[in-house]
Structure 1
Amino acid sequence: MAKKIQEKEEAAMLPIPTLPAIVEAVGAMVAPTYSTAREEYDVTQHQIFNVAENARPKKKVRKKILGINGEPLLDSNNKEQYTTKYIDVNRIGVNLQSLIVKRRVSFMNVSKIQLEANPVTDAEKKLYDMVKKIREDNKISFIEKEVARRMLSELQVAKLWYSEPVEPGYWGDLAPNGKFRMRCKVVSPDLGYKLLPVYDDYGKMIYFGMIYESTRKFSELIGDPNFNGSSVEKDQRFDILSATHIIKFRKARSGETIISTTQNNGWIVESIVKHSYGKIPITYYYKPAPPWAEVQSAIERIETLISNVGDTNDYHASPVFAMFGKVGAKVLEKGEQGKSLQLTGDNADARYITWDQATAAVEFEFKTLMSIVFTGTQTPQMAMEDLKGLGAASGVAYDRIFQDAHLAARDEIDGEYGMSTQRDINLITACAAAINTTLAPAAKTFKIGFDIPIFRINDDSETVALLQKASGGAKLLSQKTAIEYSPLTKNAEEEMAEIKKDEAEKAAAEAFKTKGLINK
């Protein structure tokens, strides 16, 4: 009872009545100013398909109105009558934006992230193992790739961390009295969340808001006398997180009477929960502009160019058969065999009209634009035709070929993505200390970093030769370490045992052979 009173007193110190309005207004000011990223990323929403805004208007065709006899109809002024018809044009979208993001994420290689730390005391070792367990249980290596993709394409994404009860013995010796574990959920605009971070004057996040819709709980629907069974109503919710509390708001449901004020924008408090993480349980990733922003105009020109070529081909690609003078035969029909024409008169002629105009200018512009897009975004061209002339290049050679892509990926890791990833690790460390409070002192000083190896095209023979060289001679690597890094082994311990077994058998065979020679 005393604990609940304390939580209510602490919550009362927060500006609850005005908090939704403040977070919504201030958080919206931090939102990305590049407002068209999501439409540009989705090829089906490209401007080339936007008929309403005349990005690529329909073709206007004026035709004569013909009568029953095939003659033009005349109006009261004895002038030919015309009708206007609008014919849709080719609209070909190119998914270069999503291709740029896919390759950028692949070269970031975030699924291979590795934690780095040097635990000394037992408390630090336990803390480190708890952090690794939390990440492994939440499949963070897979989530990282989704987060990177959404950050580059949607410009906003966050990892929401929350706790749930756990059965006894879940943590083992790491946290014998641990009663809950941490779970991770990815939230982003495309997933239906409006993300609203609020910072102080020094850039420190003090609140984080999320506006979203959710289906009401089944237990609530059963106990609701106003539910008529025709539909499952969705609630509009607003969660606000701070370093001490999680406050949940919602808009009034149909038939529910509340007092709405201009201060809270109609939001009512649903629950106030105090947490013990010591940090806002959210990791926010943000990017001011997508990686294709500087070449967006070139991509739009490529789509227009390809669509124009499609229109030209529709009208001129098929040959036209023209007859001049007096031709003694009907027009050739499709499928007729042994066709022939009888031409009479000196000026009679028949021929196919073909399109002889060169397309070199179109091809040059297309290739130039594609080069601008890929070079401007540091994206490698990895189609089969692009790689065909490289031959059997080694792994090191490919590293040099893809150096520009590696630099772009490293810029992302060294920038916002890397900073947010470090914040995420620090948050998980704080959560681990909240689960096992005896580790709280260690969590204040113990630091866990991370490293992400560069994306490489593996060359097994080259890797094995390098490991053999490093583990012998100058002994830069131990045999065990070399075996662990070898692409040909899965279990270093088992491989070491097999190697020792082989060496023992070989030594026994040599000894037996030597003994036989001596006896002779």
Structure 2
Amino acid sequence: MTLQELNALPESERITQLKKYPAKRPDTQSLIKDWDYTQHDVFDEELRPKRRVLVKEQEENKDGTIKSPAQFRWEDVNRMALPLEQDIVNIHTAFTVGTPPKITANATEASEQELMELLDGIHQKNKLPYDNKRLVRSWFAECEVAEYWYVKPAKEDDPNPTYRLKSMIWSPFRGDTLYPYYDEYGDLIAFSREYNKTDTKGIQSTRLMVVDNQNVTIYSNGAQIEQYPHGFSKIPVIYMKRERPLCDKIRTLRSRLEVLLSNFADCLDYNFYPKMVASGEVVGVRNKGMTSEIIQLENDAQVSYLTWQQSPDMAKLEFDNLTSRCYALTNTPQITFEALQGLGNTLSGKAFKFMFMGTHMAVSNHAETIEEFLQRRINFLLSAIGSLIPKYAPVAKRLQVNIEIVPYMIDSLTERIADAVSAVQGGVASLKEGIILAGITDKVDEELAQIEKEKGKELFN
């Protein structure tokens, strides 16, 4: 269905059509339960009930009747949660966009360079490197996320009011239900966001915000209340989704780990204080409460400590194995003090690259969707600048700007410089390329000119 056909429908039918999700929607409540460790099954008293403890034994009369019934109380059990989903997602987010993505362009003319400066200004003013982390984190954990762009009303002292581009992140954990609408060719022609809004009187209403290539239309409880043009030539929404969360495959392993830890903690609590077993008759205890007590026995009675034959090594082995599998199944490095304390200075920059190879392969797979998202953002921003500042419209159409994810890496400056020197001296790279390989400055042309200048001075000395 085209946008024209969609807008021609009666209001109720149009809303129903817009809210048709193109695929099976992820269960948001289940995803929140995985992400928020306080909602894990180990805290559910139906799945892990409290323990019934005998406080006072039953007393009976001589004739066998009950004099006073037994008394019990309910004691809570240990509930040990592991926020593995948060840890794994945060590590993958850092490796994917912790280093700002690399933006390249074929800007040669002055107008093209000016446009690139405007693009860079939008990134800086909107703090997009931080938004990149929020977006990727939402994509990993919530399965879908959208970025909405709009023109913020200018301040009175703003010399360039049309340049105040702002963005907003929409995602399920933020209370948004997202509805992308595609035409028969798979192109996004409308995007809807459903959310709850409470007015000043405390009355809550359900809003549906529909964005197409021209207008923003807002419905409240099924009735249109507002419509206005957004001022862009493209839909100002960038969207990405995935079928399953990043940590979907470790859910059962993490649940088992939490049960294992909680049961082991209960076992430790129960067996922490030593217990004594007596056979025969115990008459009494002398020096009770003192450091050295004497237990009086009769009739060949014996007293011994109750020993715990079960070894905790099996529990530790299972815990270590399950934890390792959780990180291995998601290609996540265990970056902890315990894991790295024995390495010292033995690992070089190249060795770290091999160590994190699995994670970098995972980042390469993530890039299939994330780079496409970031490229769509770049393309939209170029178009938006052309819409808001008409003189840049033809420049924005011809300028080619690309963006590439740079995986995070622990690097060695010494090795990079050595590699750059070897490449230049070996004749496989120019001096300019060597400066780029060394990566010690962003001002490559100025550094190259300075090196040539210093070489010239050496010739005359």
- What range describes the TM-score normalised by the shorter chain of this pair? 0.7 to 0.9
1:267 to 204, 214, 222: 222
Q: Secondary structure at the match of 2:294?
A: coil
CA contact (8 A) 1:157 1:284 kept: yes
> 1:248 and 1:344 mapped to 2: Cα distance?
86
Q: Deviations over 1:394-422 (max 9, x none)?
A: 111011011111111111112x2222222
1:94 to 72, 82, 87: 82
Change (3 A) 1:319 1:505: farther
User: Cα distance, 1:45 vs. partner?
Assistant: 1.0
User: Cα distance, 1:340 vs. partner?
Assistant: 3.6
CA contact (8 A) 1:32 1:287 kept: no
Percent of residue pairs identical: 24
User: Cα distance, 1:485 vs. partner?
Assistant: 5.8
Q: Secondary structure at the match of 1:389?
A: coil
> 2:166 and 2:361 mapped to 1: Cα distance?
33
User: Cα distance, 1:475 vs. partner?
Assistant: 5.9
Q: Secondary structure at the match of 2:189?
A: strand
Q: For structure 1, which segment, 453-462 or 295-304, has the greater mean C-alpha deviation from structure 2 after superposition?
A: 453-462
User: Within 5 A, what are the aligned runs for 1:432-471?
Assistant: 432-471=385-424
Identify the residue that residue 349 of structure 2 maps to in structure 1: 395
User: Within 5 A, what are the aligned runs for 1:417-428?
Assistant: 417-428=370-381
Identify the residue that residue 359 of structure 2 maps to in structure 1: 405
User: Cα distance, 1:478 vs. partner?
Assistant: 2.5
**Does 1:198 pair with 2:181?**
yes
Q: Secondary structure at the match of 1:55?
A: coil
Change (3 A) 1:167 1:306: closer
Q: Deviations over 1:324-370 (max 9, x none)?
A: 44556427755x23x14154556233333231322233222222211
- Which amino acid counterpart does residue 423 of structure 1 have in structure 2? R
- Which amino acid counterpart does residue 88 of structure 1 have in structure 2? D
- Which amino acid counterpart does residue 49 of structure 1 have in structure 2? F
1:316 to 267, 271, 289: 271
**Does 1:17 pair with 2:11?**
yes
- Which amino acid counterpart does residue 218 of structure 2 have in structure 1? K
User: Cα distance, 1:145 vs. partner?
Assistant: 0.8
CA contact (8 A) 2:194 2:209 kept: yes
Q: Secondary structure at the match of 1:202?
A: coil
Identify the residue that residue 348 of structure 1 maps to in structure 2: 301
Q: Secondary structure at the match of 2:245?
A: coil
User: Cα distance, 1:112 vs. partner?
Assistant: 1.2
- Which amino acid counterpart does residue 374 of structure 2 have in structure 1? T
> 1:158 and 1:387 mapped to 2: Cα distance?
37
> 1:283 and 1:275 mapped to 2: Cα distance?
15
Change (3 A) 1:240 1:329: same
**Does 1:113 pair with 2:101?**
yes
Identify the residue that residue 47 of structure 2 maps to in structure 1: 55
User: Cα distance, 1:311 vs. partner?
Assistant: 0.9
**Does 1:239 pair with 2:239?**
no
**Does 1:37 pair with 2:31?**
yes
> 1:20 and 1:28 mapped to 2: Cα distance?
15
CA contact (8 A) 1:433 1:440 kept: yes
Q: For structure 1, which segment, 321-330 or 385-394, has the greater mean C-alpha deviation from structure 2 after superposition?
A: 321-330
> 1:488 and 1:123 mapped to 2: Cα distance?
29
2:128 to 112, 124, 140: 140
Identify the residue that residue 69 of structure 1 maps to in structure 2: none
- Which amino acid counterpart does residue 26 of structure 1 have in structure 2? K
> 1:297 and 1:240 mapped to 2: Cα distance?
38
- Which amino acid counterpart does residue 266 of structure 2 have in structure 1? D
User: Cα distance, 1:484 vs. partner?
Assistant: 5.8
> 2:287 and 2:141 mapped to 1: Cα distance?
55
TM-score when normalising by structure 1:
0.77
User: Within 5 A, what are the aligned runs for 1:480-519?
Assistant: 482-483=434-435, 486=438, 511=461
Identify the residue that residue 262 of structure 1 maps to in structure 2: none
In structure 2, the gaps of 5 or more residues are none
Identify the residue that residue 259 of structure 1 maps to in structure 2: none
1:378 to 310, 317, 331: 331
Count of aligned residue pairs for this structure pair: 456
User: Within 5 A, what are the aligned runs for 1:233-312?
Assistant: 236-250=206-220, 266-312=221-267
> 1:355 and 1:123 mapped to 2: Cα distance?
79
User: Cα distance, 1:30 vs. partner?
Assistant: 5.3
- Which amino acid counterpart does residue 190 of structure 1 have in structure 2? F
> 1:232 and 1:493 mapped to 2: Cα distance?
60
Change (3 A) 1:26 1:368: same
Identify the residue that residue 258 of structure 1 maps to in structure 2: none
> 2:156 and 2:386 mapped to 1: Cα distance?
18
TM-score when normalising by structure 2:
0.86
- Which amino acid counterpart does residue 229 of structure 2 have in structure 1? K
User: Cα distance, 1:12 vs. partner?
Assistant: 11
User: Cα distance, 1:109 vs. partner?
Assistant: 2.8
> 1:155 and 1:238 mapped to 2: Cα distance?
21
Q: Deviations over 1:157-196 (max 9, x none)?
A: 2111001344799788xxxxx7343111112222222222
Q: Deviations over 1:84-130 (max 9, x none)?
A: 54332111100111111011111113541121221355554444443
- Which amino acid counterpart does residue 19 of structure 2 have in structure 1? A
User: Cα distance, 1:64 vs. partner?
Assistant: 5.4
User: Cα distance, 1:443 vs. partner?
Assistant: 3.7
Q: For structure 1, which segment, 499-508 or 295-304, has the greater mean C-alpha deviation from structure 2 after superposition?
A: 499-508
1:152 to 133, 140, 148: 140
> 2:98 and 2:24 mapped to 1: Cα distance?
26
Q: For structure 1, which segment, 470-479 or 84-93, has the greater mean C-alpha deviation from structure 2 after superposition?
A: 470-479
Change (3 A) 1:471 1:168: farther
> 1:111 and 1:457 mapped to 2: Cα distance?
11
User: Cα distance, 1:459 vs. partner?
Assistant: 1.4
Change (3 A) 1:495 1:156: same
In structure 1, the gaps of 5 or more residues are 1-9, 67-71, 173-177, 222-230, 251-265, 512-520
Identify the residue that residue 429 of structure 1 maps to in structure 2: 382
**Does 1:189 pair with 2:172?**
yes
CA contact (8 A) 2:371 2:404 kept: no
Change (3 A) 1:142 1:444: same
Change (3 A) 1:450 1:313: same
User: Within 5 A, what are the aligned runs for 1:166-181?
Assistant: 166=154, 179-181=162-164
Change (3 A) 1:329 1:86: closer
Change (3 A) 1:74 1:371: farther
Q: Secondary structure at the match of 1:208?
A: strand
CA contact (8 A) 1:243 1:279 kept: yes
CA contact (8 A) 1:117 1:448 kept: yes
